Amino acid sequence: MISGTVIIAAEICKGCELCIASCPQESLGLSTSINRNGYRYATLLKNNCTGCVNCALVCPDSAITVYREIKSAKRSSQSSQPAATQAA
C-alpha cells in the first residue's frame, strides 16, 4: 500500500492552481493567507495524497516535492523516500 504527501515551497508558489487542477485526489487548494510576493499559495488540504506526482510535474516553478510511504501489509515496517524533488 502506498500513501504520499507533498511539501510545497510557499514562498516560491505563485498560486497558478495548475497543481490543484492536476490532482486526482482533490488534495490541494489555495491558502487563505498570502506569501511575501502577495500570492495565495497551494497547500495540502486533505490527508489522501497517493504520491502520484502529477502536481510536481505540472508546477512551472518547481515548488512541490512529493514523498511516498510504502506500507507493507504483512510487516509492520515502513519506509519513506522522496518520489520527486523539484527544488528551485
Which residues make up the interface to ligand SF4 (CB under 6 A)?
A: 4, 6, 8, 13-19, 22-23, 25, 27-28, 41-42, 49-55, 58-59, 61, 63-64, 66
Give CA 48 to chain center in angstroms. 11
State the nearest-atom distance from the C-beta of 74 to ligand SF4, in Å. Answer: 25
Q: Which is nearer to ligand SF4, 29 or 76 (CB)?
A: 29
**Spatial distance between the Cα atoms of 76 and 57, rounded to a whole number of angstroms:** 31
State the nearest-atom distance from the C-beta of 1 to ligand SF4, in Å. Answer: 14
Q: What secondary structure, in 3-state letters, does 53-81 show?
A: CHHHHHCCCCCEEEEEEEECCCCCCEEEE
State the nearest-atom distance from the C-beta of 87 to ligand SF4, in Å. Answer: 13
